[in-house]
Amino acid sequence: MADAVQTPQPTFPPRIFSGIQPSGGLTLGNYLGALKRFVEKQEEGIETIYCMVDMHAITVWQDPEKLRQQTREGAAAFIAAGIDPARSILFNQSQVTAHVELGWIFNCIARMGWMSRMTQFKDKAGKNSENVSLGLFAYPSLMAADILSYKATHVPVGDDQKQHLELCRDIAIKFNNDYKVDFFPVVEPVIEGAATRVMSLRDGTKKMSKSDPSDQSRINLTDDADTISKKIRKAKTDPEPLPDSLDALKDRPEARNLVNIYAALAGHTPEQVIRDYAGAQFGTFKPALADLAVAKLEPITLEMNRLMQDQAEIDRILGAGADRAEAIARPIVDQVYDIVGMIRSRRR
C-alpha cells in the first residue's frame, strides 16, 4: 500500500468537563463514580469545569422549587467533597446559554438512528416511548454540547455514561468531517477506579440510583451516620465468607459490590481489600465498611448542611462560575456559528 498522507490530528490543551444532574439527592454512586474523582482531577492541576446540568434534569418532570434546591444541594456537595470554586469552574448549566445553542446545532448533526440506540433512553422510556419528552431523546446531544462548548478533552464519568461519550465522539467527528474542519476534539472518557459502577445495596445486579424507589438500595449524601451504618449492615449479601481472590467473587455481585465500595472509600484496590479480609464473614466486614463509610461521608454531609445554611452564597458561587464558563464557551460557540454559515451582524 502506498504511504497514506497522514493528516496530523490537532492537539487540544487538556481540559476536563463533567456534569451531574440535580434530579434528586446525590448518592454514594455519584460520589465514588464522579465527585471524588472530580476532586482528584482538580488536584492533578488540570483545568477542571464542573456543572450541575439543570437543563438535562427537566427532560423528565421536576418540581421547580425542588429543582432549585437540588441544584444548590448538588453544588454544596461538590464543594463539601473538595471542589474549590476558585480553582475549578463550578456552575449550573442553564446560566450559560452556549450549551443549548450548540445543543441545537448538534441536534442537526446527530442522527435519529444514533439516538435510538442509546440504552439509557431505552431504559428510561421503557414501554412509554411515545409519551416521553422530546428532550429526553435529544439528551445525549445536549450532553455533547456541554462538553464541546469548552473543547474539553477528558470527561470523568461512571461506567453508565460510556455510550453517551461515544456518541459525543461521533458528533465531534461528523461535525469536523461535514464542515471540513479540525474544530472539535474527540473526547476521551475517563472511567477509572474501583467504583465506576456502584450497585444497589438490595440487588447487586442493579446500579445504585437516586431514582430507585427503595431508599434502602442507596446511600444518600444527606444520610446521617446512623442511617449509613444501618443501610450497610442490612445490605443484601450471601452466607459465604469473603474468598481470597477477586475471581471467586465473579458470581457474587453483592459481595463484589461491597468490596469495591470499601476499596474506593479507602483509596485501595479491590485486590488489597480481598487480601486484608480473606476468610472474613460479613458479620466482620460489614461493620468495618460501615465505620469506613461513616468516617469518609459524615464530614461531607456535615459540610453540605453547613453550606446549605447560606443559599445566597451558593447562588453567588454558581453565578461567578457561570461567568468564567461563559468566557470560555462564548467564543467557541460563536466560531461554530461562523463555520455553519450563520450571519452574525448584530452590534454587541
- Residues with a catalytic annotation lie at 124, 207, 210
Max Cα distance, the chain (Å): 72
Long-range contacts, 36-44 (Cβ 8 Å, 24+): 36/81, 36/264, 37/156, 37/190, 37/192, 37/193, 38/78, 38/81, 38/83, 38/88, 38/156, 39/81, 39/82, 39/83, 41/16, 41/154, 41/156, 41/190, 42/82, 42/83, 42/84, 42/87, 42/88, 43/82
Considering the rule CB under 6 A, would residue 204 count as an interface residue with ligand TYM? Answer: no
Q: Provide the pairing of β-strand 89-92 with 15-20.
A: unpaired
Q: Which stretch binds ligand TYM (CB under 6 A): 19-27, 123-131, 221-229, 281-289?
A: 19-27
Q: Which value, in Å, is the radius of gyration of the alpha carbons in the chain?
A: 21
Closest CA relative to residue 155, chosen from 317, 41, 260, 247: 41
Cβ pair 18, 38 in contact under 8 A: yes
Q: Which of 15, 16, 25, 34 binds ligand TYM (CB under 6 A)?
A: 34
Region near ligand TYM per CB under 6 A, out of 84-92, 159-167, 262-270, 300-308: 159-167
Decide if residue 197 touches ligand TYM (CB under 6 A). Answer: yes
Quick note: the x/- pattern for ligand TYM over 266-305, rule CB under 6 A, is: ----------------------------------------
Q: Please, what is the minimum distance in Å from the beta carbon of residue 195 to ligand TYM?
A: 6
At residue 27, φ and ψ (nearest 5 deg) are -115, 175
Task: Verify binding: residue 153, ligand TYM, rule CB under 6 A.
Answer: no
Site membership for ligand TYM, residue 25 (CB under 6 A): no
Q: Nearest distance from residue 344's CB to ligand TYM, in Å?
A: 26
Provide the grid cell at 123.
431504559
53 is an interface residue for ligand TYM by CB under 6 A: yes
Cβ burial 81-93 (10 Å sphere, 16+ → b, else e): bbbebeebbbbbb
Say if CB 184 and CB 144 are below 8 A apart: no
Where does this chain touch ligand TYM (CB under 6 A) — which range of 15-23, 243-251, 280-288, 336-344? Answer: 15-23
Least Å from the CB of residue 266 to ligand TYM: 17
Q: Does 29 bind ligand TYM (CB under 6 A)?
A: yes
Q: Does 149 bind ligand TYM (CB under 6 A)?
A: no
Residue 264 touching ligand TYM (CB under 6 A) = no
What is the CA angle 84-91-314, rounded to 5?
70
Site membership for ligand TYM, residue 41 (CB under 6 A): no
> Is 150 or 285 the residue whose CB approaches ligand TYM more closely?
150
Q: Contact between 36 and ligand TYM (CB under 6 A)?
A: no
- Residue 152 vs 336, nearer CB to ligand TYM: 152
Q: Which stretch binds ligand TYM (CB under 6 A): 83-91, 189-197, 222-230, 258-266?
A: 189-197
| C-alpha grid cell, residue 213 | 424507589
Indicate the residue among 147 and 265 with the shorter CB distance to ligand TYM: 147
Q: Which of 76, 89, 105, 143 binds ligand TYM (CB under 6 A)?
A: 143
Cβ closest to ligand TYM, residue 125 vs residue 280: 125
Let me know: does 138 contact 127? Beta carbons within 8 Å: no
Nearest residue (CB) to ligand TYM, 18 versus 237? 18
Q: Which residue is nearest to ligand TYM (CB)?
A: 33
217 binds ligand TYM (CB under 6 A): no
State the residues that interact with ligand TYM by CB under 6 A.
17-21, 29-30, 33-34, 53, 56, 143, 146-147, 155, 157-158, 160-161, 164, 195-198, 207-208
